[in-house]
Amino acid sequence: MSNIICERVADFLQHYPPFNEMHAKDLLALSEEVSIIYCEKGKVIFSEGEKAHPHFYVVHKGAVELRSGEKKEIADLCDEGDIFGLRPLMANEDYILEATAFEESILYAIPIERFRPYTQNYEELGNFLIESFASNTRNPYARKPLEPDRGIMVPGQSLDHTSRLLDFQPIGFTKKIITCKPGVSAKEIAQIMTRKKVGSVVVIRNSLPVGIITDKDLRNKIVTGLYPVSAPAREIMTSPVITYPKNLTVTQAQMAMMKSSISHLCLTEDGTPNSKVVGMLSKHDVMVSLGNNPTVLVKAIKRARKTNGLKPIRKSIMRLLRGYLDNNIPMSITLKIISELNDACIKQVVQIALSKMPSDPPAAFAWMAMGSQGRGEQLLHTDQDNALVFSDVEDDKLEPTTQYFLKLAKLVNKGLQEIGYEYCPAEMMASNPKWCMGLSQWKQTVAQWITQPGKEEVLLSSIFFDYNLVYGDARLVEELSAAIFETTRKFPVFYTHLAAGALQNPSPTGFFRQFLVEQDGAYKDFFDLKRRALMPLTDAARVLILSHHISSINGTTERFEKLAELEENNRELYLACSYATKALLKFRTRQGLLHNDSGRFIALDKLTKEEKIKLKRTFKTIKEIQELISIRFKVSNILA
């Protein structure tokens, strides 16, 4: 006889992830283990700090609030089909949120031990569990909660649901391995673990790992009386030891632990038990790495209610950046992730500033990042470059509207300075009236730059062409972009002036390919990596892509790669320029992290011969792209 209740449960679950990935037979078998729970409005399902239940929950009918902190602020609201209470089970931790029935509700309670085996057979279920580690609230695939509505469109966060980030996320591990011989007693091992403050010991024979002993082994085998405290390691160790190579990602580490139901991984030189142990990886290490995961960082950024709450998150972003560089994650991925995290920080600073204003904005507006942040290339803490555009208002409202946005911009600029972005020395910031204007004013100003291109106008316009919408009404930015490109089409001579500006930065090398260094000032004898190497590539990419009337690509590497598609005869040079840009950005970032500065000025005597050679390899490409620009745009005509 069929079980009608189980069939109804299965019929409901099949419409929601991850259960929609399961075969009907397996889903029905799982549904037989499900408990149905009725909750009256206000009933507490679990409390913050409470020991995790042996099952997670699916909302069948009604809704459940998830709250956190002393003030019990709402972290999420789960409705039909949403999952909650899964992360603590996988992370082996207590609940960090309180779950309460928002209204009369019916829940399905699914035993984790019955659910876990299916993750071995269904890849999507395994990915679901991995994602749940990085989610502090509920189902990682569930719908996003709405942004606070202030009458302003806020661009989506692509990092919120990017599960593939974990495929690249490097993981830190313990390099100080505690080992013992097979004959050492359990008592001695416990004493070693206590003294060294570790949770595991690797048992080695002839310098190779033959087993592992963890806290769990001591509890289950010694404390229970199954073995005496005098028992040798060989009798209580878990063997054969499961080994992996040291270059694991977070995804691989989590899958390895779940696959074997273990909490420690032994890392060896070649990933097998036949090579030397180089590190130990615990579930705690995984959780620490997940704390630096982009998805988690975005959630933490959104929860910040004061700018000082963003400071530790900015430090975590820098640790993430360092990990990406140390593990040679592709620069294109690193640039995208760090740029989006930076955008998320700026967006939250704008949100915080708006909350401090006495009233809602009097008009729609857009906050734009300029310069390196606008290009998605600001990896380190550098100075601010930003602008604000607001929709046109009637003449009698222009002055108070401008003053409102200048006040808002001042709060934002101050907030950004507090979290590590220094004020722009040239005051190219939205708190400057020249960089905070209505749409028509901006159109008129940029049109003047383009039609009357003096040296300063070219500089200003070149910075402005690299803007990126961070917060606000995208339509304002789109309309401004359209107006700018319409003006440049009418005045093509502007490209010649822009190209001339791109050639203002001198060659990186002089006679005998020697580095050209600063001749005076605070950085005398230092090499200016930004001005002499990165800026020539950035400026070249800008003028070339704009001459093709393409406005949707801001990043230097992406611009060169698009140019390689558009101009087959110059494909090799453009791809070389893209590679050189990535190499220089990585080099600058490494130097900045090493010396805790912007990485712009390089002390050549501190570089190795190999580092100098790598730098010089990019210089030939810079010379070639500058020659192409000079000829194509007939720069000599206006320089003569």
The secondary structure of 53-101, three-state, reads CCEEEEEEECCEEEEECCCCEEEEEECCCCEECCHHHHHCCCCCCEEEE
Cβ atoms within 10 A of the Cβ of 384, count?
A: 23
Torsion of CA 108, 114, 117, 118, to 10 degrees: -30
Confidence at residue 319, expressed as pLDDT on a 0 to 100 scale:
83
599, two tokens: 């990485």
The distance from CA 380 to its chain's CA centroid, rounded to whole angstroms, is 14
What CA–CA distance (Å, rounded) separates 572 from 564?
A: 7
Which residue, among 74, 71, 206, has the nearest Cα to 138 in the 3D structure? 74
Confidence at residue 126, expressed as pLDDT on a 0 to 100 scale:
66
Confidence at residue 390, expressed as pLDDT on a 0 to 100 scale:
97
CB 59 within 8 A of CB 11: no
Pairing of strands 468-472, 365-369: antiparallel
Confidence at residue 93, expressed as pLDDT on a 0 to 100 scale:
73
CB 65 within 8 A of CB 74: yes
Confidence at residue 135, expressed as pLDDT on a 0 to 100 scale:
43
Confidence at residue 2, expressed as pLDDT on a 0 to 100 scale:
57
CB 538 within 8 A of CB 556: yes
183, two tokens: 């004959």
What CA–CA distance (Å, rounded) separates 448 from 537?
A: 26
Q: Residue 624 half-sphere exposure, CB side, CA atoms within 13 Å?
A: 14
Contacts of 356 (CB under 8 A, 6+ apart): 411
133, two tokens: 């580690």
What CA–CA distance (Å, rounded) separates 298 from 175?
A: 29
Confidence at residue 6, expressed as pLDDT on a 0 to 100 scale:
87
What CA–CA distance (Å, rounded) separates 309 from 575?
A: 41
Confidence at residue 170, expressed as pLDDT on a 0 to 100 scale:
61
Residues of the chain under the 50 pLDDT cut: 1, 133-164, 640
What CA–CA distance (Å, rounded) separates 46 from 86?
A: 12
596, two tokens: 């805790």
What CA–CA distance (Å, rounded) separates 162 from 151?
A: 27
Distances (CA, A) of 52 to 70, 134, 230, 286: 20, 17, 35, 19
What CA–CA distance (Å, rounded) separates 162 from 294?
A: 9
Distances (CA, A) of 537 to 23, 295, 328, 518, 555: 53, 32, 23, 20, 11
Q: Is 234 exposed, middle or buried (0-12, 13-18, 19+ CB in 10 A)?
A: middle
What is the reported pTM?
A: 0.62
What CA–CA distance (Å, rounded) separates 250 from 450?
A: 49
What CA–CA distance (Å, rounded) separates 25 from 85?
A: 25
Name the β-bridge partners of 618: none
What CA–CA distance (Å, rounded) separates 296 from 165?
A: 11
Confidence at residue 107, expressed as pLDDT on a 0 to 100 scale:
94
271, two tokens: 């990933």
Confidence at residue 231, expressed as pLDDT on a 0 to 100 scale:
94
Q: Is 144 exposed, middle or buried (0-12, 13-18, 19+ CB in 10 A)?
A: exposed
Place of tokens 């009725």: 38
What CA–CA distance (Å, rounded) separates 529 from 509?
A: 12
